[in-house]
């Protein structure tokens, strides 16, 4: 990896969530100080639920400048926004409905639409928003999300970049429709070039069930086809792994 990699091992899941919240506060604060706004890509899955609930309560609800935020998603399941499987629904119910984010700056993926059309629409929306916020592209891929929140799947996937998916090789498109070995199988995901333009990237990983895959991703042989989380290597930034002691149990470092 060329990015700075930090592994922040916390004793419990609760302290890991607080540590992750502090990372998000720091990234948002620095972005707003520099430009008056910040962009964040949220993750789905089970781990973020407690983090989002924490961010919606004091002191984090006021420490993050939500009126200056543009909110995106790293991936979405191809379901309607009110479906229990929707990443948007999770974030809306636990976080976004409880903080003063500007509705027009919440850029959800239209998971209810046909997948390829929804991916193309989201790419256009993402490009337009980041062009407006950052100006014309000057670096690959010409996008910069100020904060990227990611999780780690049991099989080494992150966002909806799954092992051996053709999406892992994508270098031009920012958003793809993919079929994955999960339920539901149809997903829409950001691609590695967009993820790797973000700074910082914050992974949140908790629980003993993640110990083996975390060790493989961080300390095993490099094999991003099998372990897509290894693709995350920001061009100009930091990757911070916020993990609890149970998830870190098999690491040699920490």
Each residue's pLDDT tens digit, 169-179? 999 999 999 99
Residue 182's pLDDT is 85
Residue 2's pLDDT is 61
Residue 237's pLDDT is 80
- Do 212 and 250 form a contact (C-beta atoms < 8 A)? yes
Domain positions in the chain: 4-233
Decide the pairing of beta strands 186-190 and 75-77. antiparallel
d(Cα 251, Cα 247) in Å, to the nearest integer?
A: 9
> Was domain 4-233 assigned CATH 3.40.50.300?
no
d(Cα 150, Cα 205) in Å, to the nearest integer?
A: 9
Residue 138's pLDDT is 45
Residue 139's pLDDT is 47
What percent of the chain stands above pLDDT 90?
87
Would you tell me how many other CB atoms lie within 10 Å of the CB of residue 22?
14
Residue 137's pLDDT is 52
- Do 215 and 251 form a contact (C-beta atoms < 8 A)? yes
């Amino acid at each position: 990896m060329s990015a700075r990699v930090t592994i922040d091992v916390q004793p419990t899941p609760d302290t890991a969530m607080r540590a992750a919240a502090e990372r998000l506060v720091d990234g948002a604060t620095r972005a707003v100080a520099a430009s008056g706004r910040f962009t964040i890509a949220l993750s789905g899955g089970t781990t973020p639920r407690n983090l989002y609930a924490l961010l919606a309560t004091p002191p984090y609800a006021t420490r993050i400048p939500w009126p200056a935020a543009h909110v995106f998603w790293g991936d979405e399941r191809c379901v309607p926004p009110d479906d229990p499987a929707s990443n948007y629904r999770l974030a809306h119910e636990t976080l976004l409905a409880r903080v003063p984010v500007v509705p027009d700056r919440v850029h959800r993926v239209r998971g209810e639409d046909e997948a390829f059309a929804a991916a193309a629409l989201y790419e256009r929306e993402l490009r337009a928003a980041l062009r407006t916020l950052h100006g014309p592209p000057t670096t690959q891929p010409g996008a910069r999300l100020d904060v990227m929140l990611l999780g780690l799947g049991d099989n080494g996937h992150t966002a909806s970049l799954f092992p051996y998916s053709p999406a892992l090789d994508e270098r031009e498109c920012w958003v793809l429709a993919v079929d994955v070995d999960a339920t539901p199988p149809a997903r829409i995901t950001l691609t590695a070039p967009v993820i790797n333009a973000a700074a910082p990237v914050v992974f949140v990983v908790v629980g003993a069930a993640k110990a083996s895959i975390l060790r493989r991703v961080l300390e095993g042989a490099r094999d991003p086809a099998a372990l897509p989380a290894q693709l995350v290597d920001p061009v100009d930034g930091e990757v911070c792994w916020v993990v609890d002691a149970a998830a870190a149990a098999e690491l040699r470092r920490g």
